Structure formats: structure tokens, C-alpha cells
Amino acid sequence: MKLKIFLVFFMFYTQSLFGIEKIIDPNTIHKNLRCLVCQGQSISDSNSDFAQTIKLVVKDLINEGKTEDEIYSFMSDKYGEWIVFKPQLNAQNSLLWILPYIALIFGGFFIFTLVKKRQ
């Protein structure tokens, strides 16, 4: 009985976890694009001519069926990597993405040796 309840509960939970629809939200994309003519603002925050144009184009690209990543790479083709707030994972940015984890692993290892020494 207990197991049954647990199973039902578990299935229900996983279903609601994975059942989220994958729709592209233009707002998320706007937030991840830099407004080039503004001071540090995103397209979503700005109402400049440039931001409005980009919003229109993003809408078109979504309607064409482009994925989020395709839209980002379209934009960075046109305006350079500066326009996307999420740095691409390429050779140049590899250190940026990897170093924090290296630091994390190294720190963990360091603590581990400190504790281990005693035993």
C-alpha cells in the first residue's frame, strides 16, 4: 500500500516535472540580447529604435521556426558576440566556462586532503 502511494506520487511528480511545454518565449530572448545603443541594458529593457527593430526581427525568426540558439547565433553573426549576454561555448570562451568548475573541484580536493591527512 505504502509503495503504491509512493509510486503514484512519484509518477505524478515526474510527469509534472517533464510535462512542461517547450515554447520559445520572446521575452527570454530579448533579455539575453544587449541593446547596442544603450548603456548596459538588454533589448527587453530598452525602447530605443534599435531595440524595437530587434524585437520585430526576433518575432519573425520565431515564426520561421528558429530555435533560441539559432536566433542568438543569427544575431551574433550580424552584430558580433557582444550582442548576446550568454557567451558561446567556443575555444576563446572555454576558460570562462571551465575555470569556475576547475576551481570548485580543486577546492573540494584541497579540503578532502586536509581532512584525510588526519586519518
Partner 1 sequence: MRNTVKIIIFVIFFFVISVFYISLNRETNYNTSSLINKEVPQFKIAYFDKNGSFTKQDLINNNYTLINFWASWCGPCRVEHPVLMKLSAENNLDILGVNFKDKKELARKFLKDLGNPYNFLLKDFEGKQSVIFGIYGIPESIIINNENTIIKKFVGPLSIDDYKEIKEIIK
Partner 2 sequence: MLSNLGNSILFISVLVSISIIYLSNKNLKTSNNLIIKNIYQLSLIQSTLIIFCFFTLIAAFIVSDFSLVTVYQNSHSMKPVFYKIAGTWGNHEGSLLLWVIILTIFSFLFLIYNKDHPKKFRLITLIIQNILILGFLFFILFNSNPFSSLSPIPSEGLGLNPILQDPALAIHPPLLYIGFVGSSIYFSAAIASLIVNYSEKSFSFSIKNWVLISWCFQTLGILVGSVWAYYELGWGGFWFWDPVENASLLPWFAMTALLHSIIVFEKRNLFYFWVIILCLITFILSVTGTFLVRSGILNSVHTFASDPTRGVYILLFLSLMIFSSIYLLFKKYKKENYSLNQNSKETFILINNWFMMFYLITVLLGTIYPIFTDALTDNKISVGPPFYNAIIFPIVVIFLIFMAVGPRVKWIKNRFEDIKVYSFILAGSIILNVLILVFIKSYSILSNFIIISALFLIISSLKDGVSALQKNRFDLARIISHASFGFLVLFIGLNHIFSIEKDYNIKVGETKNFENYSIKLEKLDLKDFPNYKAVIGTLEINNNFSNEKNILKPEIRIYDNPKTLTYEASIKTNLLKDYYLTMSNIDRSDYYNIKFQKKPLMIWIWISVVMIVTGGFLRLFKNAKYS
- Name the one range near partner 1 by CB under 8 A: 8-16, 23-31, 70-78, 97-105: 70-78
How far apart are the C-alpha atoms of 1 and 3, rounded to whole Å? 5
List for the chain the helix, strand, coil content (%; round to 5). Answer: 65, 5, 30
Smallest gap from residue 74 Cβ to partner 2 (A): 16
Contact status: 93 vs partner 1 (CB under 8 A): no
33 bridge partner residues: 84
Which 35-94 positions form the footprint of partner 2 (CB under 8 A)? 39-42, 44-45, 47, 49, 52, 80-87, 92-93
